[in-house]
Chain A
Amino acid sequence: MQRNTGHCTNVPRNVNMESLRNGYLFPEISLRELEHIQKYPDSELIRLGIGDTTNPIPDIITSAMAEYARALSTVRGYRGYGAEQGNKELRQAIAETFYEDTGVKGGEIFVSDGAQSDISRLQLLFGSNVTMAVQNPSFPAYIDTSVIVGQAGEFQEETGKYRNIVYMNCLPENNFFPDLSTMPRTDIIFFCSPNNPTGSAASRLQLEQLVAYAKAKGSIIVYDSAYSVFITDGSPKSIFEIPGAREVAIEVSSFSKFAGFTGVRLGWTVVPKELLYSTGFPVIKDYNRLVCTSFNGASSISQAGGLACLSPEGYTALNAVVDYYKDNAKMICDALASVGLKVYGGRNAPYVWVHFPGLKSWDVFAEILEKAHVITVPGRGFGPGGEEFIRISTFGHRESIAEASRRLKSLFIHN
């Protein structure tokens, strides 16, 4: 622990922060990347690690943002504070584009600066006294924010799990959908579909089971649909396609992967009016209060971009970019499968989930990095259920994807 000869305050360190293991996963990957570049400055490192979009944003969208920005220099076009819940037109457009026929209204949509912020705000909303379940493996922010807010209990080294969190195993054996029959009840259930990192999209039947389960247990599902645009097989794109979901679920989504807005920052959360706490108090009222107190709205420029994304022209242009990434995924899947690797995902999500039975994922990660100069993400970073897996992200320029596919085939050819 860092010691310093200077003054120490008498403020105790937040014990929840002490419970966190290491740094957040993705900065750790960046660190490995940096070390590798120092070691091999001439290697042409290919980044299929952090799921960062790579393709330029279509003109129609960026010119809308540029125009909005320029207008801020005019008397007529200047805008100050926006509503914390987001621009009304944008909320409406989100409802119409993504929630047609599901009953979700603009007034139930809270525009944000992205899912990562929203997940934290939801944890703040729920407080430290709720229990939660996550898929195992899962996007690390669900667990990490749970720890930070004080829900998670102690970390248990032997199992790699936090005591109070219920881990719902999602493995090839159960087609990456948890066995709900054996699960202990929790207040909150985080569910991401299409899934990061496994790439699996839950079917309508599975989501009906999930909603029924939540209803029977009185739980709230926090459904992360950030990758729904990548679905190719007709699986539901929103939890609200399932009847009854409005009484049991919140949905979080994002423009990041859909529109290349990873740097621009725009997302949203849906809190249906029918979602009630045990006392009958509407969750949306508290969420609204929280948003008004802890947040001051997504950037107005990003919101202008969001609106352009959902125009007919913008939406068409973005789908072309998404298709590009989908073709990347196919290329990688085919390459890896051709050398006999067990490959999952890639069909409904921009992630390929590769199984290396019996091996430790950080070792495989290191080997791929060292020998093929390709950055991936070790499955263990997503929870103990990811131990034998590697996540390969399929964002990238086609040439890089092709080159990475070649190198990986080469590396694993004797598999």
Chain B
Amino acid sequence: MSAIHHPRHLSTSISSSTSAFLGQNNFNTRTQSVPLPVRNNGSCKCVATPSAEKTAYTTKVSRNANMAKLQAGYLFPEVARRKAAHILKYPDAEVISLGIGDTTEPIPEVITSAMAKRSNALSTVEGYSGYGAEQGEKVCLILFYKNSCQNPLLYRHVDSSSRSVQPLRAAIATAFYGHLGIEEDDIFVSDGAKSDISRLQVLFGSGVTMAVQDPSYPAYVDSSVIMGQTKQFQKDIEKYANIEYMSCTPENGFFPDLSKVSRTDIIFFCSPNNPTGSAASREQLTRLVQFAKDNGSIIVYDSAYALYISDDNPRSIFEIPGAKEVAIETSSFSKYAGFTGVRLGWTVVPKQLLYSDGFPVAKDFNRIVCTCFNGASNIAQSGALACVSPDGLKAIHEVIGFYKENADIIMDTFNSLGFNVYGGKNAPYVWVHFPGRSSWDVFSEILEKTHVVTTPGSGFGPGGEGFVRVSAFCHRSNVLEACRRFKQLYK
């Protein structure tokens, strides 16, 4: 996946450019020398520095071979590392971050005041709540579903002392899945899509095969590697063996040619897409659902950017008839409400989604959620509830609109410079083509010459080579300044 061609070295302690309260993205200071792994025919051979080798005790526990398959660090900490190194080199430069898709605009007050209120309530007898339901808060009387398996889908009873618990799952169902037949008990509230993707991988286990778009958000591939679903990384083609990469290029309108895709158990599909910005049409998603149905596959549909859609492309896979029998959908308040730090997302697992033996996937996901997780923060849940109130929805649409305007500005800039530009219309990412060039080279050039951080396309898979992703999350003044600098560089 990654095209980083130098050995990964430990970063020294470097503060990020914002205030001290914000933790740094880098791995912290390590004063002791430690062995650095050296690649040797695909196996990891440790070459220790002399002092470490002589005295270091090692356990007899084998390193997880799956971790060893990973190529370098996760993409975004790597970008952050480069940014930090750049800041050290040019301490007076005004570095502008259009790399990591990190939201920048304040959260609307209707939402933060709900979170402040919940926080304060936790200091009162009536308002204090301890453990919440792992699946998310639900106003719950005595409602549970039992079946002959004796493995009930269970809802935590809320006693009269926890009156502060609010019906978040129902609110999400209503707000986003109103007429789609998705119910509150199909919804599992979480601390965000990244955690959910891992939990889904744990659910599926190591014995399944998976397909991803190429390029794609790196967490799908990396979590698959960690889970043991893949074989080794093949350096020549920059792909992990055993993953099916579905090419998404300008030539195919960023929708894979399904006739060329081999069957896999799981298909990760992100729309609107990170990084290409492309939103699949109703017709395309209908074909995807049919493909999944014909192959008996499960689609994991990442709709984290759905509210950025400008045209009438589907906002949810469940708009497609038949999707409930073949798809899981994961989403997040991160890019809707600036909740990147607050942490709140959800995953929909329809009751109708069944394994090959007829066992409902939701029951196993429920078990995973109850065992491997203990619920999203109650304060964040109160915030999410405010997000989907009428005032909240109105407010977050305004913030989303702001970022969409940023995307327009970025698109216009690159278009005016004669580049082939994709995305931007239905997503907060602009995907710029630099034909024939290495994306890390372009990343470095842009960083060096304009002090703007972007994300190299190859970080998202070999299909991203030759592209750079420019994120639209930024203060307006910074976007305008960044675009001015781009015009300067590429005029």
Contacts and interface: CB of A to CB of B under 8 A. Distances in A.
Contact of A17 (B21, B35, B203, B340): B203
Interface of B is mostly: loop
B77 A150 contact: no
A348 to B, nearest CB: 21
Interface string A65-98: 1110110111101111111111111110000000
Given A56-B128, A72-B338, A273-B30, A83 B296 contact: no
Say which size band chain B's interface belongs to: 35 or more
A70 B115 CA distance: 8
Contact of B148 (A2, A24, A90): A2
Given A10-B295, A281-B44, A114 B374 contact: yes
Interface residues of A, number: 128
A204 to B, nearest CB: 21
B15 to A, nearest CB: 8
A69 B379 contact: yes
A302 interface: yes
Given A24-B371, A83-B24, A265-B374, A127 B157 contact: no
A56 B122 contact: yes
B198 A124 contact: yes
Nearest to A254: B374
Contact of B59 (A90, A278, A289): A278
A328 B59 CA distance: 42
B33 to A, nearest CB: 10
- Interface hub of B48, B52, B73, B358 (most chain A Cβ within 10 A): B358
A58 B103 contact: no
A17 B356 contact: no
A299 B359 contact: no
Interface stretch (B170-178, B360-368, B480-488): B360-368
Given A113-B377, A301-B379, A63 B61 contact: no
A9 B223 CA distance: 22
Contacts of A9: 265, 292, 296-298, 325-326, 353-356
B148 to A, nearest CB: 7
Nearest to B326: A9
A31 B154 CA distance: 7
Interface in A274-298: 274-282, 285-286, 288-290, 292-298
Which of B107, B108, B117 is packed against the most chain A CB atoms within 10 Å? B107
Interface stretch (A214-222, A361-369, A402-410): A214-222
A394 to B, nearest CB: 14
A80 B103 contact: yes
A106 interface: yes
Contacts of B409: none
A27 interface: yes
Interface in B418-458: none
Interface stretch (A32-40, A166-174, A191-199, A351-359): A32-40
Interface stretch (A154-162, A256-264, A332-340): A256-264
B48 A280 contact: yes
Q: Which of A6, A215, A219 has the largest count of B CB atoms less than 10 A from its CB?
A: A6
B46 A293 contact: no
Interface string A49-63: 010111111110111
Nearest to B147: A2
A229 to B, nearest CB: 16
A349 to B, nearest CB: 17
Most B Cβ at <10 Å: residue of A17, A59, A85, A144: A17
Interface in A292-322: 292-302, 305
A86 B37 CA distance: 26
A66 B116 CA distance: 4
Contacts of B109: 73
Contact of A187 (B60, B131, B375): B60
A264 B129 CA distance: 9
A281 B107 contact: no
Interface stretch (B187-195, B248-256, B305-313): B187-195
Nearest to A119: B372
Please indicate which of the listed interface residues A33, A72, A248 has the most CB atoms of chain B within 10 Å of its own CB. A72
B106 interface: yes
B74 interface: yes
B138 interface: no
B243 interface: no
A23 B368 CA distance: 10
Contacts of A62: 119-123
Nearest to B125: A56
Contacts of B359: 1-2, 13
Interface string B198-213: 1000111111100000
Contacts of A281: 35, 37, 44, 46, 63
A205 interface: no
Interface in B43-85: 44-46, 48, 52-53, 56-67, 70, 73-74, 76-77
A247 interface: yes
Contacts of B371: 24, 116, 120, 141, 144-145, 148
A73 to B, nearest CB: 4
B218 to A, nearest CB: 8
A294 B226 contact: yes
B465 interface: no
B372 A277 contact: no
A413 interface: no
A8 B355 contact: yes
Contacts of B152: 23, 31
B237 interface: no
Given A12-B356, A299-B380, A130 B30 contact: no
A107 interface: yes
A117 interface: yes
B226 A290 contact: yes
Nearest to A187: B61
Contacts of A22: 150-151
A393 to B, nearest CB: 11
A7 B76 CA distance: 39
A66 B368 CA distance: 31
B74 to A, nearest CB: 4
A72 B108 CA distance: 8
A148 B100 CA distance: 33
A124 B195 contact: no
B370 interface: yes
A181 interface: no
B194 A2 contact: no
B3 to A, nearest CB: 18
Nearest to B164: A263
A128 B376 CA distance: 27
A296 B106 contact: no
B262 interface: no
Nearest to B24: A83
A81 B28 contact: no
Nearest to B74: A292
Nearest to A249: B59
| Of listed B100, B106, B119, B473, residue having the most chain A CB within 10 A | B119
Contacts of B154: 23, 27, 30-31
Given A88-B20, A120-B372, A294-B195, A11 B128 contact: no
B373 to A, nearest CB: 6
Contact of A4 (B121, B208, B358): B358
B408 interface: no
24 contacts: A1-B359, A2-B147, A3-B358, A15-B205, A24-B367, A57-B123, A72-B115, A81-B102, A87-B22, A91-B23, A107-B13, A114-B374, A218-B60, A262-B130, A264-B378, A274-B32, A276-B59, A277-B61, A281-B35, A292-B77, A293-B218, A293-B223, A296-B340, A299-B343
Interface of B: 13, 18, 20-30, 32, 34-35, 37, 44-46, 48, 52-53, 56-67, 70, 73-74, 76-77, 100, 102-109, 111-113, 115-117, 119-125, 127-132, 134, 142, 144, 147-152, 154, 156-157, 159, 191-192, 194-195, 197-198, 202-208, 218-219, 222-223, 226-228, 265-266, 292-293, 295-298, 322, 325-326, 338, 340-343, 352-360, 363-364, 367-368, 370-380, 383, 473
